[in-house]
Structure 1
C-alpha cells in the first residue's frame, strides 16, 4: 500500500469518475489482484469491528463546538484555528497518512475544488499524525495548495472522537507492507484517525461533519460548496 504504486496521474476517463468510483476501482484491483486473501480478511474484519463499535456515531457532529487547535505545519510554522476562523469558515479533513492510497485520492479530490472553497471565503487544512518529512512529501506528491498540520499522537483527532487503535493483526499486516506507524508518526501508540471532513463556522460551531469508520468510503468534495454558500448567505443576512 505504498503511495508510489497506488495513485498515478488521472486518465481522461478517471477525470470523469466520482471520488467514490475511483476509490471503489482501486479497492477492487487491490483486493482482487494484489493482496493475499488472508490480508484482505484481516482488513475487512478490522473495519467491521470499528463500525460495530459505534465510535463514528459518537464523534463530533454538526451543531457541536469544534475544539480549538494550534498545530505546526510541515515547515514548522504554527497554524491556529482561531486565526483561520477570523477570516472565514474552515474546512478540516483528517488524513491517515501518505501510505494510504485512499487518503491520497481523497486529498487530490479536495485539491480539485480548493480554489472554489477559497472563493467562498473558507480556509482549508488537512490534519495528520505523520512526521514533518512525510507531510511535506504528501503535500508535494499530491500537489496540494493547502497545508497538512501535525497532530502528534492523534491528540486533536481524539478531541473530535476520531482516534482509534489498530488491532494487533492489522498492525502485523501494516508492518508486512513496510508501513511502521511508530516510525512514520514518531510515536508508538499505533493509533489513527477515522477519515473525517468538517466545515467549521466562524463562531466555532461545526456546520458539516462526515465521519466514516470504513476508510475506503469518502464523501465527495462537491458536498462542501453548498455548506459554504449557506454560511456566507447567513453571514450576509
Structure 2
C-alpha cells in the first residue's frame, strides 16, 4: 500500500497544476499564519490524560470514550470535514488498516465538527467501518488544543470554491480542528499525539500504530 503522505503529496501536486497561483497563495498564507501561532506546540501531549467525551455518531447514537476504552486502546482521528480531500484520503487509509487495529485489540473513531448528516454521507460514501462523531463547535477539539478559527480572507476563498463550512458544520463560527491523530491507552493516557498546522501533512498510520503494537508484545 502506498504511503499516506505520498498520496497526499499527489493531491497537492495536482492542485498546484490546476489552480491559479494567486488562489493557492491564500491557503499557503493561512497555513503559515496558523503555524506561527505556535498551535502545534500546545496540543495535548503524550503522557497527558485524554479528556473524556460523549459525542453523537452518524446515526445519533451517543458514543462514550469510557465505553470504548473499556474494550481496548483507542485511535482518535480529528479531521476537518468531508469537503477536505486530504481528510477523506486519511480516513480511507484508516479504513484499510482497520482490521489490523482490531487484531491488536484497538478501536478507531474519527471526530469532526460536521453535522451527523454530513458524517452519515461520509461513512457511506467511503465505506468507513468505524464511528464518525460530531464535535459541535469543536468543543472537544478545543480541549485537545486543536481548535482554530478560519480567517476572514480564507472564508471568502472557501465560499468562492463552494465549500460552505457553516452549512457543513451546522453553525456559523467557522471553527475547525487541526488535523490530528491520537492514540489513547486504556488507562486514558495519551501514548501518541501529532497535529499539523499544514493540513497537507499527516502522520503515517503505521507510525501511529507503533505504540499500540508495542503494548501488545
1:71 aligns with: 55
1:230 aligns with 2:214: yes
In the TM superposition, residue 78 of structure 1 has moved relative to its aligned partner by 0.3
Task: Choose which of 2, 16, 21 in structure 2 pairs with 1:31.
Answer: 16
In the TM superposition, residue 111 of structure 1 has moved relative to its aligned partner by 0.9
2:40 aligns with: 56
Task: Choose which of 173, 193, 215 in structure 2 pairs with 1:209.
Answer: 193
Q: Can you list the C-alpha shifts for 1:28-57, whole angstroms capped at 9, x where unaligned?
A: 111222x22221001000001111110111
- What secondary structure is seen at the aligned counterpart in 1 of 2:6? helix
> RMSD of aligned C-alpha atoms?
0.9
Q: Can you list the C-alpha shifts for 1:139-179, whole angstroms capped at 9, x where unaligned?
A: 11111000110000000000000000011110001011111
1:163 aligns with 2:147: yes
Distance 1:173 1:115 in 2: 38
Give the TM-score taking structure 2 as reference length: 0.97
1:141 aligns with 2:125: yes
Q: Can you list the C-alpha shifts for 1:89-117, whole angstroms capped at 9, x where unaligned?
A: 01100010000000010000111110100
CA contact (8 A) 1:116 1:225 kept: no
1:19 aligns with: 4
2:112 aligns with: 128
Distance 2:149 2:34 in 1: 10
Give the TM-score taking structure 1 as reference length: 0.89
Distance 1:190 1:205 in 2: 30
Task: Choose which of 100, 111, 123 in structure 2 pairs with 1:116.
Answer: 100
CA contact (8 A) 1:127 1:150 kept: yes
Unaligned runs of 5+ in 2: none
- What secondary structure is seen at the aligned counterpart in 2 of 1:179? coil
Unaligned runs of 5+ in 1: 1-15
Distance 1:191 1:226 in 2: 31
